[in-house]
């Protein structure tokens, strides 16, 4: 009765009804679906790991649920709509990690309805892009947002929406986005003074000269960064605690030069890894 968090390492290991009956006061629930082999095309698309049975059970009994984390599961727009109806008024954290099956229409509903949302995590999800309105609505309706991650989703980004996000969400400290040019984020970086973590965006060799990053930034990563672009990091490299080089085009010598300028580095992300 006192347990507040449960992680189900495999969605078919227990029925949703049995788990929720045993832990009726859960505040946080994590459910993992498809095995890691799905990342390499070794699992059929219709294999299973559907979120619907879990979402259906969340409607009535879990009055305390504030956080939901689904990993490698099939989540539909209807699933997210049902979740919003049941828990949207108190949902503070929604993590859809490497999930598929939903669109930005559902994200727009989440943005409009979950006004207590502090974390929205969508990294590596396969999302049908029906427009950028979801990001605008998120910026307009969620002033308490702390973490937003749609890294490696290929969702389109409007710089104006990110600037609105920075303006309205004063507590925003972590932002990971899909591909856009970092030179389009000059206005966002000027407004997001509390930002501590940023990843995503591409960098053009000829355009990054006017980019000034927030002074509190201590975690950083750009996609497709090469030798000629890594100089953007040098002015604030001494304060970096985390550096993400997973999707960079740096040589061994580049890595050595860059790391030598980061004396306070605690985390270095190199090749992509997955812990299950």
* Whole-structure pTM value: 0.93
pLDDT at 235: 86
CA dist., res. 18 & res. 220, Å (int): 42
At residue 198's C-alpha, the angle toward residues 192 and 204, to 5°, is 100
User: Under a CB-based contact definition with an 8 Å cutoff, are residues 139 and 164 in contact?
Assistant: yes
Q: Which residues in the chain come in under a pLDDT of 70?
A: 59-62, 204-209, 271-276
Q: Domains in the chain, ordered, with CATH?
A: 1-156 (3.80.10), 173-275 (no CATH)
pLDDT at 207: 59
pLDDT at 179: 83
pLDDT at 275: 43
pLDDT at 273: 44
Q: What is the pLDDT of residues 224-264, one digit of tens each?
A: 888 888 888 888 899 999 999 888 888 999 999 999 999 99
Comparing CA positions, the residue from 150, 192, 198 lying closest to residue 174 is: 198
Half-sphere exposure of 48 (CA within 13 A, CB side): 10
pLDDT at 274: 46
Q: Which residues are paired to 68 by β-bridges?
A: 29, 94
In this structure, the number of other CB atoms found within 10 A of the CB of residue 118 comes to 19
Kindly give, in sequence order, each residue whose CB lies less than 8 Å from that of residue 215, ignoring residues fewer than 6 positions away: 193, 236
User: Under a CB-based contact definition with an 8 Å cutoff, are residues 165 and 135 in contact?
Assistant: yes
Half-sphere exposure of 110 (CA within 13 A, CB side): 27
User: Under a CB-based contact definition with an 8 Å cutoff, are residues 231 and 250 in contact?
Assistant: no
From residue 101, alpha-carbon distances to 49, 56, 200, 214, 276 in Å are: 11, 17, 23, 35, 20
Q: What tokens appear for 145 in the block?
A: 């947002």
């Amino acid at each position: 009765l006192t347990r507040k968090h449960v992680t189900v390492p495999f969605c078919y290991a227990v029925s949703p009804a049995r788990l929720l009956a045993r832990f009726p006061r859960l505040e946080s629930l994590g459910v993992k679906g498809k095995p890691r082999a799905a990342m390499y095309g070794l699992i059929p698309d219709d294999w299973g790991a559907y979120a619907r049975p879990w979402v259906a059970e969340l409607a009535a009994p879990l009055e305390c649920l504030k956080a939901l984390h689904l990993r490698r599961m099939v989540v539909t727009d209807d699933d997210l709509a049902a979740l919003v109806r049941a828990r949207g008024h108190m949902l503070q954290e929604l993590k859809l990690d490497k999930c598929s099956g939903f669109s930005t229409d559902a994200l727009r509903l989440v943005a409009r309805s979950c006004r207590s949302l502090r974390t929205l995590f969508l990294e590596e999800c396969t999302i049908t892009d029906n427009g950028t309105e979801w990001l605008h609505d998120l910026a307009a309706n969620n002033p308490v947002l702390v973490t937003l991650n749609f890294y490696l989703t290929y969702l389109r980004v409007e710089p104006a929406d990110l600037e609105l996000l920075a303006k309205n969400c004063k507590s925003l400290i972590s932002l990971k986005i899909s591909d856009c040019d970092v030179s389009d984020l000059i206005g966002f970086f000027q407004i997001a003074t509390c930002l501590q973590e940023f990843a995503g965006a591409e960098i053009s060799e000829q355009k990054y000269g006017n980019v000034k990053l927030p002074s509190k930034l201590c975690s950083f990563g750009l996609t497709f960064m090469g030798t000629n672009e890594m100089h953007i990091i040098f002015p604030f490299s001494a304060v970096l605690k985390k550096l993400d080089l997973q999707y960079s085009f740096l040589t061994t010598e580049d890595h050595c030069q860059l790391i030598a300028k980061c004396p306070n580095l605690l985390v270095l992300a190199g090749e992509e890894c997955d812990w299950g």
